[in-house]
Every structure is written in structure tokens, then in C-alpha cells.
Amino acid sequence: MEKKTYTITSSEGLHARPCSLLVSAVTPFQSDVTIGYNGKKANMKSIMGVMGMGIESGAQVEIEADGADAAEAIAKVDEIMKQENIGE
Amino acid sequence: MTSQLTGIGVSDGIAIAKAYRLEAPDLTVEKRSIDNPADEIARFESAKSKAAEELEAIRLKAAENFGEDKAAIFAAHLLVLNDPELTSSVTGSIEQGVNAEFALQQAADTFTAMFESMDNEYMRERAADVRDVTKRLLAKLLGVHVSDPSAIDEEVIIIADDLTPSATAQLNKEFVKGFVTNIGGRTSHSAILGRMLEIPAVVGTKTAMDTIEQGVRVIVDGTDGTVLIDPADTEVGTYEGKKEKFQQDKELLNRYVSEATTSSDGQHVEVGANIASIDDLPLADKNGAEGVGLFRTEFLYMGQSDWPSEEEQLEAYKAVLTAMDDRPTVVRTLDIGGDKELNYFSTPEEMNPFLGERAIRLCFAQPDMFRTQLRALLRASVHGNLKIMFPMIATLEEFRQAKQMLLEEEEKLKADGFAISDTYEVGMMLEIPAAAVIADLFAKEVDFFSIGTNDLIQYTMAADRMNESVSYLYQPNHPAVLRLIHNVISAAHKEGKWAGMCGEVAGDPLVIPILLGMGLDEFSMSPSSILKARAQIAGLSKAEWEGYIPEILQMGTSEEIIKFVQEHSK
């Protein structure tokens, strides 16, 4: 299992656009990928699950990937987070 | 045989084309029990891939017509459609033995309810997206045909109950010549879109969907709200003529876009635009606004979950001031209360909201909120030609208090090292008769007046203009109203200050000659009225109308005054 923590820097929080980018990025991986916030966890391949958490700017989130390609999935999340200024 | 409908004309112009009905399909769902869950899941998956194909086609169309930005929403819709949580919720219910339609509707209701219960306004609105996607999927499952406006390939007039964002994103500008809807008003989505695309639109007809059949010829007159269904050839001829006249007038007016407003005897006055956000500036520019005579800041406060921050407001003011550059920009501080409400702030129920705690009165009751706005304005002052205006000032003390708060914030900001323009102006909106009567006293303390006619008339005549049984009292040409306006303009000029007007009346052709004669310096109106006003002023002699003013001010009724204006402005 791979884990990584981020602080959301996108000014609108996880609105439709950043959510779309993250969900599209992890969907092709076999591993289960989740996003944890405020003691809750959501399936990161589910746009409604992620948006439903109402993650705002400045929030701490924990991304977890579990499966054969977990490391690659986390690397992809990291790339999108930084490239699109979503979190750091 | 011709029949006729009347609605609210919200976007000028005339269109003649075939009707295209945007149908709202019947998506009633029944609960059935099923024997073979595997088959039912396969049926669901197949509906899903059909819906996905359709969404992908819409996304491409939207990108082509409106740009990638607007198309991004459909990429998000595709993710909702393929959401694994949605799918597993539906397949889970199907395995329990219910049909796909019922399972989908249940899942859709759950997700919509989740978004609707969220604190954040933005997230609550996402419920509409979930509904949009699940409806499309449901239609596929039920085998119901949904109108596909992206397939339109001939000139049409769209007939709809109302226009949704997803429907409008698919419309091809080349073929859509007009809109007619059952519901809506001046600010509904279809009205705004009509004006943006510059095609005629009539909304609020109530019965368009019941009376207009697919493919029948329709004439839409967006100027007066008339819709003719299946017109005779003679009527089509008449309207072809009107349409041509409209185009010619428009081209004639376009000559005035880049000209300054000048009367026939060479006197310059400013004709500016009323705006509510930076989004209104392109239309103001297109119509040659020489300034912004009223920037309403309410919209920064509406549709939010909390008071907008100083930084947020700074960005909004800075954007407008930068775009306007050295052209004057009058920003009105928050005018809320009365009939306008905020999600995060409840105003007490009042017997007479228009005589209650609104505008500057509310700002004094919420000083922190007011100071935040003042700070944002001061910090934005270096980016353009800013004029700050306080609304609903009745007494000298109120103006002094507001100005005092402004100066205090200016001192604090300067102490913190912020740059602030030393040429910004501070004035007041003149909309209370008491202030108009003592305008000479105010004129010594303000930098300018801007007359807000909507409220000035309603307070002077003691008549609610929304109340149909007394709306006859809403008379811009009433002697009392004109005498007050004259008093305000004269008082300003005596102290070397300027006077403007930012109500509907500033663009009223029956009042413009009088205002010009009285010496009004600035006329501010909705952008679409600017060119007409400029063309009218170009044909009027200021000196001549100045000469008529004493005579006009002695007339006893609106009727007499209107007749005089009509006879002398030919």
C-alpha cells in the first residue's frame, strides 16, 4: 500500500475541474485508490464520491493506493496535483 | 390560420423561421420485479454506453460552438455517467430483483440529495448536473426520444418550456434565429443568452409549448414580445420589412459606437453603462460606453456562502477598473435589504422593506462588513478612474459618517504601506426626496451626485411601481420629479460639482431632451440603450433645450410635458 498527504492549494478547493482531472487520472489503474479527508474516505475513481466530501482550499487530504500498480497510481496523482496547481 | 402569443420581449430583433420544439420527455418510472438480473445489468450497461456516445458528441459540439471552457462541463458529466459508485449502487439494486430504471432513479435521488444537503452553494448546484446526466441515462433505458438540438441543420426558432444550460450549449448559433419559452423573465438564462447571441427572444409566453407545433412557421418580435404562429404571407411580408428596418437602424446606430456624445450645438455629455460585473463590460464596450455610471456590487455578495473577503472584492473591482482604464467608473457600495436577500445573512421581516434598513442603513448596522468593502475599493483605486458612491443617503450626518469610515480605512491602509490614488472621488446616489430638496447643502460636501430615478420617483410619488394598481403614478415626467432633478443638477453646478443619472429614466427618449437642457453631465443606462440615447442627443441643441426649461418647469401635468417634448424634439 502506498500513501501520500497533500494540502489543497486550488483556490476553489476540489471543485468540478480539479476533481475531473484527478478522477480521470486514477481511473485507468487497477489499484483501489482512495482519498481521505476529515476522518472519511472516498473512492477516488468516483467523481461524486470525491466531490461529495466537499474538500475546500487549505484542507489536508490523504491519498492511498492499494494494488499491483499502487506506486504508479500515486506517481500519477502527484504529477496532476503539481502540474495543475491543485495541491502540494 | 394565424394565431398570436404575447410574452416578454427580452432580446430585440425580428426572426422568421420554422419552429423547433425542445421536448421534455416523459421519464415516469415504474417499479417492476425482474427474473434475470444479469440481463437487466447488460441492458443498463448498453444504455450507459449509448448515453456516453451522446455526451461525447455534445462535448465536441460545445467545444466547437462555445470553446473548451464550456465543454469541460460535459467531460465532468461523462465522469458522473461512468462513476463506479453510481454503477455499483444501480447493479446492487438490480441484483436484489428490481428493474434498472427504478434502481437508477433511486441511486440518482440519493446522490442528488447528498449534493443538495451540502453547505457550499457551488456544491448544491452540482445536484443539477447529476440530474441532467441521470435523466439522459433514464431516457435511454426507457427508449424515450430526447430532442437533440445539436442535430439542427436549418434555420429554426427554438420553442421550449425553459432553456437549460445543457440544452443551450448544444445550440448551433448559425441556425438558431430566436427563442420562445413558456417561463422566464428578463434575467433568466434564455434571456441572457438571447442578448449575448444578439437574436430575438420572447420569454414567459406561458403557452408556447401547447400552441406551437413542430415545423410550423413562426415570427418572433423580441422588441415588443409578439409571437405569430403560422402567419399569412402578407404578415410575413410586413415583418420582413420590419426586420430590414431593424437591421438598418442597428447599422445606423453603429456609426455612433466610437464617437463621443455631442449635442447638435457641440456640447459634450457622457453616456455610460450600468453594469453588475465584469461580464457586462464587453456589451458596454460594444455599445461605446464612455464610462460606467453605476457598478452594482450586490452580485459579489449574492450566491455566496459568506460575506466576500477583502481580497475577493479587490480582484473584482480591480478587474473592472483596469479594463475601464481612464474612463470614469462609479462603484456603488452595497445596496442590499429591502427585497434583496443573502443566503448567509437574514434581514428582519419589515412592514415596509423599501422604507426599512437597507443600503447604507444596513451597512452602518454591519460596520465590519462595510469597512471590508471600503478597504477593497481603496486598494483598487490605483487601477483606474474610481468614483465611490454611497446609496440611500437621506441626511448630511449619514454622508459624513460614511465618508469618515472611508477616510479612517484609508489612513490604516496607508499606515500599512498600501498605495491609494489621491484622485478618486466620493459621491452619493440621490434617490431620497429629502436629499434632493437640500441638494445645495450636500453639494458642498460631495464630489458628485448620481440621481437614482427608480427610487426617487417611487418615494416622491409614494407609489410602488411593481403594484399594478398604482403604477400609473410612476411618472418620470411629473413636474415634482423634474423640479427635484432640476434642483439637484443646479445645486451641483453651483458648487462646481458634476451630476449624473443612473436610473432607467436616463435612457428615456421622452426625458433625455429635458435632462440635456437642465445640464445633466452624465447619463448612465443599460448598455443596449446607449447608442439610441447618443443618436438622440446628437440631434438636440443643448442651448435650445436650456431655453425651454423655465417653461417646462411651470407645466402642471406629465401629459403636458410629454406633449411639449414630442412637439419640440422632431
Shortest alpha-carbon distance between residue B78 and chain A (Å): 10
- Tell me if B178 sits within 8 A of B222, measured CB to CB: yes
Shortest alpha-carbon distance between residue B75 and chain A (Å): 8
- Tell me if A34 sits within 8 A of A63, measured CB to CB: yes
Distance CA B255, CA B535 (A): 9
Query: Is B84 part of the contact surface with chain A (CB cutoff 8 Å)?
Result: yes
Which of the 8 DSSP states describes residue B345?
B
* Active site residues per annotation of A: 15
Query: Is B113 part of the contact surface with chain A (CB cutoff 8 Å)?
Result: no
Q: What is the pLDDT of residue A27?
A: 93
The reply to whether B363 belongs to the active site is no
Interface of A with B (CB under 8 A): 12, 15-17, 19-20, 23-24, 27, 43, 45-49, 51-52, 54, 56
Nearest to A45 among B84, B114, B122 (CB): B84
Which member of B77, B145, B189, B568 is catalytic? Answer: B189
Query: Is B299 part of the contact surface with chain A (CB cutoff 8 Å)?
Result: no
Residue-wise pLDDT tens digits, B77-130: 999 999 999 999 999 999 999 999 999 999 999 999 988 888 777 777 788 788
Q: Contact B120/A24, CB-based, under 8 Å?
A: no
Q: Contact B120/A43, CB-based, under 8 Å?
A: no
User: Nine-digit cell at B531?
Assistant: 447608442
- Tell me if B222 sits within 8 A of B194, measured CB to CB: yes
Q: Contact B72/A52, CB-based, under 8 Å?
A: no
Residue-wise pLDDT tens digits, A38-85: 889 999 999 999 988 889 888 999 999 999 999 999 999 999 999 888
Q: Which residues of A touch B118 (CB under 8 A)?
A: 52, 54
- Tell me if B111 sits within 8 A of A48, measured CB to CB: yes
Residue B381 sits at φ, ψ, to 5 deg, of -60, -30
User: Nine-digit cell at B548?
Assistant: 425651454
- Tell me if A50 sits within 8 A of A42, measured CB to CB: yes
Q: What is the pLDDT of residue A12?
A: 80
Distance CA B190, CA B170 (A): 13
B473-477 contacts, C-beta under 8 A, 24 or more apart: B475/B558, B476/B504, B476/B505, B476/B508, B476/B510, B476/B511, B476/B558, B477/B510, B477/B511, B477/B514, B477/B558, B477/B561, B477/B562, B477/B565
Distance CA A49, CA A22 (A): 12
Identity of residue B77: H
Give the chain B residue nearest A23 (alpha carbons).
B79
Q: What is the pLDDT of residue B127?
A: 81
* pTM of the complete model beyond 0.90: no
Identity of residue A78: D
User: Nine-digit cell at B499?
Assistant: 451630476
Residue B165 has pLDDT above 60, yes or no: no
Burial zone of B69 (CB within 10 Å; 0-12 exposed, 13-18 middle, 19+ buried) = exposed
Which member of B77, B363, B486, B502 is catalytic? Answer: B502
Residue B452 has pLDDT above 80, yes or no: yes
User: Of all residues in chain B, what percent carry a pLDDT higher than 90?
Assistant: 69
Q: Which residues of A touch B86 (CB under 8 A)?
A: 46, 48
Spell out the domains of chain B, with CATH numbers in brackets: 3-23+148-252 (3.50.30.10), 37-142 (1.10.274.10), 255-568 (3.20.20.60)
What's A2-83's CATH class? Answer: alpha beta
